Amino acid sequence: MAKVPTVLFMMVVFLVDPIHGAPQVPCFFIFGDSLADNGNNNNLLTRAKVNYQPYGIDFLTGPTGRFCNGRTTVDILAQLLGFENLIPPFATSNKGPYILKGLNYASGAAGIRVETGSQLGGHISLDQQLLNHQYLNKCLYSVGMGNNDYINNYFKPQFYPTSRMYTLEQYTTVLIEQYSRQMMTLYDKYGARKVALVGLGLIGCTPNAISTFGTNGSACVDKLNTAAQMFNQKLVSLVDQLNANLRDAKFIYVNSFGMGSGDPAAAGFKVVNVGCCPVNNIGQCAAGKLHAKIGVMPCFFIFGDSLADNGNNNHLKTPAKANYLPYGIDFPKGPTGRFTNGRTFVDIIAELLGFENPIPCFATTRRPKDMVRGLNYASGSAGMRDETGTHMGANVNLNKQLLNHKATVKHIASVMGHKQSSNKHYLNKCLYSVGMGSNDYMNNYFQPKFYPTSTKYTPEQYATLLIKQYSRQIKTLYMYGARKVALVGLGQVGCAPYSISTGTNGSACVDKMNDAVQLFNEKLKSLVDQLTPISQMQNSSMLTLMECPEVQRIGQQLVIYDQQPARFKVSDVNCCPVNEIGQCVPSAAPCKNRSEHMFWDLFHPTEMAI
C-alpha cells in the first residue's frame, strides 16, 4: 500500500465531516510550481515542461506535464478528499463544467516574484495564476510557492540581481510581504476561505543543488536549506497573522521541510541523492534516451548565419567571430563561437528533440563517426549570396555550407557501410534547419557603400532574386537526402539596436528594413507551398516550416525580433559594451540583468529572447 504523508491526512481530517466522512469542500483550486503543475506549461515557450516520457511513466494516462513519474501531492490530496477525477489544468479546462470542481493553475519554474524562473522561458507567476482564477468561496485552495524564488532567482546571480540587492533575511521578508498581499487578493477578490499554504522543502538536498553548489562536507547544501527554513518560519507567522485577522477564514501551514527531514531509509528509500531518470543540462529527464530508442530524429543538420554559428568562424580571417568573453558567459563551456551569452535557438531545438549534446560545428569535427548525429555549418555574416558579408572578411556562405554537407554525406556513408539506398533512407529521417537571409539585407542590400544590390534592384525585385536562389539551394539539399527541412523566416531586423542607431525617422524601428524582410517572408511561404508537392510526389515530407512538434513550438518565436518587448524591461539596448562593428568588446563586463535584456550585442538576442 502506498505511503501518504501524515500532513495530507491532517488536511483531510480537518476538512472532512468526522461523523459521515463526507468531503466538506465542493471544489479544489491549486496554485503552485512544478511540484503541482499538471500540464499548464505544455504549450508555453519554455524548457520547464515535461510532457514527454519518462515523465508520467507510472501515471495512468502517461506523460501529462507532471514533473514526476506518477501522481503529484495535489493529485493524492484530491483523491483523499473524495474527488472522483483529478483536478484538471487551467490551460486546457478553463471553460465549461470542469471549473465547478476546481482547477490547477500551477506552473513549472514559477514563483512568488514575477521574474522568477524566466531564464527558462515562459511560465505563469503567482500573480498571473490569481488573475486566471474565478470567484468561489467554499473550496479548498492549495498554494505552494517559493522554491523557485530561491532556486531560480536568489541563487542564480548570473540571471537575477536579488542576491546583490538583499541579504537573505531581507529577501525572505520581501517574499513574505508579497505573498501576504497575494493571499489577501485570494481572500478579498476571489473569496478563498480555506487555504493550505505549503512550506518549502529541503531544497538544498536535491541532486541538482548538490551537484551545482557542492556541500562543503555536509550532506546537503546548507545555505539553501537555511534559506528555506527562514522562509518557512516567516510563513508560519504569516499564517498565524492571517488567521488572527481574518476570522471567517482558515489558513493552515503544510510543513514540507519537516516531511523531508526524517530518516529516508525508514520511509523505504534506498537512494536519496541521485535522480531516477537520466537528465539533461537543466536537470530534467532527458527525452533523448527515448528518442534514441524509437529513432524519431537520428540526426540534425544546421545551415545558417550568426544566429546559429557555434564556432565555424573561429579560425577564419574575420572580425565576425565570438570565441571570447563575454560571449558564452552563461554557456556551460564558456565562449565557443556562439554570438550570444548562452545557447542559440538551434541548441534549444536539439535539446527539445532529445539530443544529449549540442550539435557540433563542422569546422572542428574531424572524425566521420562524430558526424552521424549531425553537424552545424552556420557561419557569422554569411548569406545566400556569395558576396554577402565579405566586407567584414571571410565567411562560409550557403553554397559553401552545402558543399561541406556534400562531403559529410560521403563521410557518413563510409562510416555506416550501408548501400546507397540505406544511407539515403537514414538521411531522409534527419531534421535540417536552414536560416538564411538576414545578412543578405543587413550586410548586403542595406550596405550600399560596399554592395550595389540596392541600386540595381527594388526591394520587391531583390526579394524575388533571393527566393529564386534559395529555391535552387534547397533543391540541392534535397538531392543530398534532406526530406524534413525547417526554413526559418527573417525577423524584424529593423528593430535591432544597430538598425535603430542608424535612425528611425520617428518610428520605433527602421520601417524600410522590416518592410523588405516582410516581402522576403511572404515569398518564402510561397516557396514552401511550391516545393511541398514535389516532396509529396517522392513519398516524403520534404518541406514544412516546422516538421516536428518540438520545433513547431519554438518555431512560433524563431523570428527573434518579433518577441513582444513587454517580456523585457530593455528591448532596444545591448547588454554588453560593443565595438565599432556592434559586437561585444573582448572581456568587457556585460549587464547584470541579462534576463531583462532582449539583445546581447547590437545584432544578436540574449538566450532569454529565444
Q: What stretch of H or E contains 253?
A: strand 250-254
Beta-strand relationship, 194-198 and 140-144: parallel
CB atoms within 10 A of CB 138: 12
All cell numbers assigned to 270: 534506498
Instruction: Select which of 125, 142, 256, 306 is catalytic.
Output: 306
DSSP label at residue 584: B
20 is catalytic: no
Supply angle C-alpha 429, 435, 438, rounded to 5.
Answer: 175
CA distance 552 to 558: 9
CA distance 404 to 384: 15
Beta-strand relationship, 485-487 and 28-32: unpaired
CA distance 242 to 252: 10
CA distance 24 to 26: 7
Place of cell 515542461: 49
Q: What stretch of H or E contains 291?
A: helix 288-294
CA distance 142 to 32: 8
123 is catalytic: no
Please list, in sequence order, all residues whose beta carbon lies within 8 angstroms of the beta carbon of residue 225, skipping any fewer than 6 positions away: 202, 203, 204, 205
CA distance 104 to 78: 11
Tell which residue, 164, 163, 181, 312, has the closest CA to residue 227. 163
Instruction: Select which of 133, 291, 597, 604 is catalytic.
Output: 604
604 is catalytic: yes
Biggest CA–CA distance in the chain, Å, is: 88
CA distance 226 to 224: 5
Catalytic sites, residue numbers: 306, 601, 604
